[in-house]
Structure 1
Amino acid sequence: MIDIRNITKSFGDRQVLAGISGTFKPGDTSLIIGGSGTGKSVLLKCMIGLIKPDSGEVLYDNRNFLSGDINEQKAIRREMGVLFQGSALFDSKTVLENVRFPLDMLTDQSESEKLDRAQECLKRVGLDKATDRMPSEISGGMKKRVGIARAIVLNPKYLFCDEPNSGLDPLTSIKIDQLISEITDEFKITTIVITHDMNSMMEIGEKIMFLYQGHKLWEGNSNTITQSDVKELNEFIYANKLLREAEK
């Protein structure tokens, strides 16, 4: 479980996060949504330690990530898996080598153990036949699946996905959403997805947090999001629908 408490962050005179709090439970696919510049990506970076918030707490199963010593922070980081927006694959490495990379860097497993684990994760995302291909030889959707395989190769307790559907067609986006949701449920991971995709909100939004200009204006799930009386959220949903229709 992840608890964030009163997270604030400013860059110069501009406040990006204004006291954000929330709880994210194991086995749930939780979404943080909002338009561009609302603070959702900054919040994620605060949660995984890429940005230090000005104040607040981030607790991983009651362990304070921000105030812990270096060894405590490293231990928590080893329990994280991250799917970056652009997949962030190494162009010079094969699909298998990309997935193996965290094992090479962070474990002392034998070569056979690392190979078996990487192949197991690629099989889980349906890419066991693509192990020797280079990133330039696979589609955008396949790159996302490689990124997911790499994110789960260390058996993380916490999975963070930054705009996993960015640049994908609607059908591929649905498949990526389903894969993330299935893996979350299967391994009881605490998963947080940063997105502005309406399909994701309706299909996998077991918990949804809506940010607007650095403030949390609404919290609920896919069953209650369309019943909100929050003006800014309704405008966001409407704009998202128009964008989807224009893409068809």
Structure 2
Amino acid sequence: MIEIKHISKSFNDRKILDNVSGVFKKGQTSLVIGASGTGKSVLLKCMLDLVRPEHGATLYDGRDFYIGEEEEKKTIRREMGVLFQGGALFDSQTVHQNVQFPLDMLTEMPESEKRDRVEFCLQRVGLEGTGNRMPSEISGGMKKRVGIARAIVMNPKYLFCDEPNSGLDPLTSIKIDELIKEITEEYSTTTVIITHDMNSVLSIGDYIMFLYKGKKVWEGNSQTILDTNVPELEEFVFSNKALMKMRGEKR
């Protein structure tokens, strides 16, 4: 479980996050949504301690990430897996080398065990037999799958996904959503997804936090989001014509 408490962050006297709190539970896909510029990515960076908030705390199963001992912080970092927007693969390395990178950096695992772990993760995301290919030789959807394999190679407790469907066609996006959901449930990870994709929200949103101008103005799940009476959220959700039609049918 990850708990964020009263997170506030400003840049150049402009408040980006304003007293944001929430709980992301183990085994659930938790989504942070909102329009561009609402603070989603900054919140993710605060949770990863890439950016330090002026106020607030982030607790990983009760461990305060900001004020804990350095060794405890290192332990928490080793328990994280991150899928970066765009995949963020190393172009000069093979698929296998990209997935193995965290093992090389953070473990003293024997090479044979690393190889087995990488092959297992590639098989888990449906990319068995692709280890010798270069990122330039695979599709955008496959790159995201490689990114997921790299994110789970350390068997993380906490999985973070930054806009996992960015740049993908609708069918591939659905497959990526399903894969993230399956991995979350299979390994009981605490998964936090930053997204503005309403298809993801409706299909895998076990818990949803909506940010507007840096504030949390709503939280719920995929079953309750279509019945919201929050004007800012309604505008965000029903800006999609298909959802407008669904809304009319529902009422």
Normalised-by-shorter TM-score class: over 0.9
Structure 2 Cα separation of the partners of residues 227 and 158 of structure 1: 30
Residues 138, 35 of structure 1: CA spacing in aligned structure 2 closer, same or farther, 3 A cutoff?
A: same
Which residue of 1 is the match for residue 248 of structure 2?
Answer: none
One-letter code aligned to 1:194: I
One-letter code aligned to 1:46: C
Normalising by structure 2, we get a TM-score of 0.96
Shift of residue 160, structure 1, vs aligned partner: 0.2
Structure 1 Cα separation of the partners of residues 241 and 153 of structure 2: 35
Identical pairs, percent: 68
Deviations 1:174-220 (A, max 9, x none): 00000000000000000000000011000000000000000000000
Q: Unaligned 5+ residue runs, structure 1?
A: none
One-letter code aligned to 1:101: F
Which residue of 1 is the match for residue 88 of structure 2?
Answer: 88
Which residue of 2 is the match for residue 223 of structure 1?
Answer: 223
Aligned-residue CA RMSD (Å) = 1.4
Deviations 1:147-180 (A, max 9, x none): 0000000000000000000000000000000000
Does the 8 A contact of 1:95 with 1:131 survive in 2?
yes
Deviations 1:113-154 (A, max 9, x none): 000000000000000121110000000000000000000000
Which residue of 2 is the match for residue 73 of structure 1?
Answer: 73
Residues 188, 24 of structure 1: CA spacing in aligned structure 2 closer, same or farther, 3 A cutoff?
A: same
Shift of residue 238, structure 1, vs aligned partner: 1.8
Structure 1 Cα separation of the partners of residues 19 and 199 of structure 2: 28
SS of 1:81's partner is strand
Structure 1 Cα separation of the partners of residues 49 and 114 of structure 2: 26
Structure 2 Cα separation of the partners of residues 70 and 11 of structure 1: 26
One-letter code aligned to 2:131: T
Which residue of 2 is the match for residue 3 of structure 1?
Answer: 3
Does the 8 A contact of 1:198 with 1:241 survive in 2?
no
1:166 aligns with 2:130: no
Which residue of 1 is the match for residue 204 of structure 2?
Answer: 204
Shift of residue 240, structure 1, vs aligned partner: 4.0
Shift of residue 71, structure 1, vs aligned partner: 1.4
Count of residue correspondences: 245
Shift of residue 241, structure 1, vs aligned partner: 4.4
Residues 241, 3 of structure 1: CA spacing in aligned structure 2 closer, same or farther, 3 A cutoff?
A: farther
1:192 aligns with 2:179: no
Which residue of 2 is the match for residue 150 of structure 1?
Answer: 150
Does the 8 A contact of 1:99 with 1:118 survive in 2?
yes
Normalising by structure 1, we get a TM-score of 0.97
Which residue of 1 is the match for residue 61 of structure 2?
Answer: 61
SS of 1:211's partner is strand
Residues 241, 104 of structure 1: CA spacing in aligned structure 2 closer, same or farther, 3 A cutoff?
A: farther
Shift of residue 38, structure 1, vs aligned partner: 0.1
Does the 8 A contact of 1:95 with 1:130 survive in 2?
yes
Moved over 6 A (4+): none
Does the 8 A contact of 1:197 with 1:240 survive in 2?
no
Shift of residue 69, structure 1, vs aligned partner: 2.2
Which residue of 2 is the match for residue 104 of structure 1?
Answer: 104
Shift of residue 87, structure 1, vs aligned partner: 0.5
Structure 1 Cα separation of the partners of residues 140 and 241 of structure 2: 23
Structure 2 Cα separation of the partners of residues 241 and 48 of structure 1: 35
How does 1:133-144 map onto structure 2 within 5 Å?
133-144=133-144
One-letter code aligned to 1:120: F
Structure 2 Cα separation of the partners of residues 89 and 116 of structure 1: 20
One-letter code aligned to 1:139: S
Shift of residue 239, structure 1, vs aligned partner: 2.1
